[in-house]
């Protein structure tokens, strides 16, 4: 176990997030960030059909003829549902709370809460609401497995899912910016919101890797491309938005933190390389 890495990560979390308030689900610095977002709201001039969005949000496979912009918004909303489901479950079962739980776990749980909110803000640019819809069956089982596995084995499993998550957020950020390039402020806001998630997820990958033995890290690396493919299959919109070959090639390459961190405004922290 890379303790130096974890201690470094702890310091990094305090620097990045400020004080953590579990009861009120608040991280001091995040609240400042959201305050600045709310003070300068960005609205897209594109008209997005809310009824089509809501109807497709509840569908496994989007209706034929749904355009790429709508697919991007649906993918954003669906990732939001999976995040919310996992975070809610972990929180309900007190997975990250107690005197015997290291302090970084509270930070990580609260960061995941903010991911739901960050994704909801992407939808808000287009006047779309935040809804609660359970993710599809396979995703629910996947999330439950991750939450209820015994802690010792959970790190390689959750770590692999965090790695796959990084790729999904990285890809969706790029696609969102391309699709809304005609509105530079909107594209910049998509970049900003998705980047905040990506910065956190890179940290989560490093934390899980640091909690693994070298053999467990090897399993984590093996699981990651498989979980990435599962995410893309389960969120059909991601499969439709990305080029299959390209996505698979990206997942099959060694996990490249420098590439994922390129252009981010805030430093990322990797307690250990997976
Ligand atoms: Fe997350
Ligand atoms: Fe995460």
Tens of pLDDT, residues 118-128: 999 999 999 99
Q: Supply angle C-alpha 269, 270, 273, rounded to 5.
A: 165
- Residue 75 Cα to ligand 1 middle (Å): 14
pLDDT digits (tens, 9 = 90+) for 186-237: 999 999 999 999 999 999 999 999 999 999 999 999 999 999 999 999 999 9
Closest ligand to residue 119's CA: 1
Q: Supply angle C-alpha 43, 44, 48, rounded to 5.
A: 120
Closest ligand to residue 115's CA: 1
- Residue 256 Cα to ligand 2 middle (Å): 17
Residues 173, 262: contact at Cβ < 8 Å? no
Using pLDDT thresholds of 50, 70 and 90, give the confidence band for residue 181. Answer: very high
- Residue 96 Cα to ligand 1 middle (Å): 15
pTM of the predicted model, to two decimals? 0.94
- Residue 158 Cα to ligand 1 middle (Å): 11
- 259, pLDDT greater than 90: yes
Residues 109, 91: contact at Cβ < 8 Å? yes
| DSSP conformational letter for 271 | S
Using pLDDT thresholds of 50, 70 and 90, give the confidence band for residue 4. Answer: low
Which residue spans within 167-244 are E strands per DSSP?
Answer: none
Assign 27 to helix, strand or coil. strand
- 178, pLDDT greater than 60: yes
- Residue 182 Cα to ligand 2 middle (Å): 31
pLDDT digits (tens, 9 = 90+) for 65-120: 999 999 999 999 998 888 888 888 988 988 888 888 888 999 999 999 999 999 99
- Residue 254 Cα to ligand 2 middle (Å): 19
Using pLDDT thresholds of 50, 70 and 90, give the confidence band for residue 64. Answer: very high
C-alpha 107/C-alpha 110 separation (Å) is: 5
Kindly report the backbone phi and psi dihedral angles of residue 197, in degrees, each rounded to the nearest multiple of 5, phi listed first. Answer: -65, -45
Closest ligand to residue 114's CA: 1
pLDDT digits (tens, 9 = 90+) for 21-56: 998 999 999 999 999 999 999 999 998 999 999 999
- Residue 129 Cα to ligand 2 middle (Å): 23
Closest ligand to residue 80's CA: 1
Closest ligand to residue 162's CA: 2
- Residue 118 Cα to ligand 1 middle (Å): 10
- Residue 197 Cα to ligand 1 middle (Å): 6
What is the chain's mean pLDDT, rounded? 93
- 2, pLDDT greater than 60: no
Return the higher-pLDDT residue of 94 and 62.
62
- Residue 49 Cα to ligand 2 middle (Å): 31
Assign 20 to helix, strand or coil. strand
- Residue 73 Cα to ligand 2 middle (Å): 20
């Amino acid at each position: 176990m890379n303790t130096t890495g974890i201690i470094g990560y702890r310091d990094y979390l305090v620097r990045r997030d400020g004080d953590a308030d579990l009861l009120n689900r608040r991280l001091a610095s995040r609240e400042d960030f959201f305050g600045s977002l709310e003070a300068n709201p960005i609205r897209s001039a594109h008209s997005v059909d809310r009824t089509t969005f809501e109807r497709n949000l509840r569908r496994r496979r989007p209706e034929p003829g749904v355009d790429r912009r709508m697919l991007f918004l649906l993918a954003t909303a669906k990732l939001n549902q999976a995040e919310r489901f996992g975070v809610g479950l972990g929180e309900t079962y007190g997975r990250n709370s107690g005197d015997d739980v290291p302090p970084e776990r509270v930070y990580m749980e609260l960061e995941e809460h903010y991911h739901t909110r960050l994704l909801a803000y992407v939808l808000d640019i287009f006047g779309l609401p935040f809804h609660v819809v359970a993710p599809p069956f396979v995703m629910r089982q996947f999330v439950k497995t991750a939450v209820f596995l015994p802690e010792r084995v959970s790190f390689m499993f959750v770590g692999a899912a965090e790695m796959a998550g990084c790729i999904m957020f990285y890809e969706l950020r790029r696609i969102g910016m391309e699709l809304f390039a005609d509105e530079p402020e909107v594209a910049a806001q998509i970049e900003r919101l998705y980047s905040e998630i990506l910065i956190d997820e890179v940290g989560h990958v490093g934390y899980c890797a640091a909690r693994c033995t070298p053999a467990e890290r090897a399993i984590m690396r093996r699981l990651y491309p498989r979980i990435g493919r599962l995410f893309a299959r389960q969120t059909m919109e991601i499969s439709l938005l990305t080029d299959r070959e390209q996505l698979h090639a990206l997942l099959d390459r060694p996990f490249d933190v420098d590439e994922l961190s390129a252009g981010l405004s805030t430093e990322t922290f990797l307690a250990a390389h997976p």
